[in-house]
Amino acid sequence: MAETTQKNRTGGKAACSWILDRAQQYADVCHVTRDEVLEAWENDRTSWWPNYYKDANQPDLAVKQVVTLAEWEAVGKRLYGEDKRDWKFRYRL
């Protein structure tokens, strides 16, 4: 029984460390605090935390190109003007 309890504690510590590390990665990319990322995730979470905090829901950003909403809007304004209603998106071949 004691071995099972110790294993659960170790697994829980590793999971918490993973969550904090991943939240810091998102914070660095999105230019916000780790607490803001965690708060957003918690507001989004509707299931038990072990089912929510995993690579499927918080993918690793180190291997992906990430564009924030602010960056995307800046490109839209540069290409199509300030009024978002005038933005036209076309495929360029």
Task: Provide the residue ranges of all domains of the chain, joining segments of one domain with +.
Answer: 2-86
Band of pLDDT at residue 93, cut at 50, 70 and 90: low
Please say if the pLDDT value at position 34 is more than 80: yes
* Angle separating helix axes 2-30 and 34-44, nearest 10 degrees: 110
DSSP single-letter state for residue 47: S
Count other Cβ atoms within 10 Å, centred on residue 58: 17
> Smallest Cα–Cα separation from 21: which of 50, 69, 62, 63?
62
Please say if the pLDDT value at position 66 is more than 70: yes
pTM: 0.63
Q: pLDDT at position 87, please?
A: 77
Q: How far apart are CA 82 and CA 77, in angstroms?
A: 5
Helix (H, G, I), strand (E, B) or coil at 88: coil
Q: pLDDT at position 90, please?
A: 60
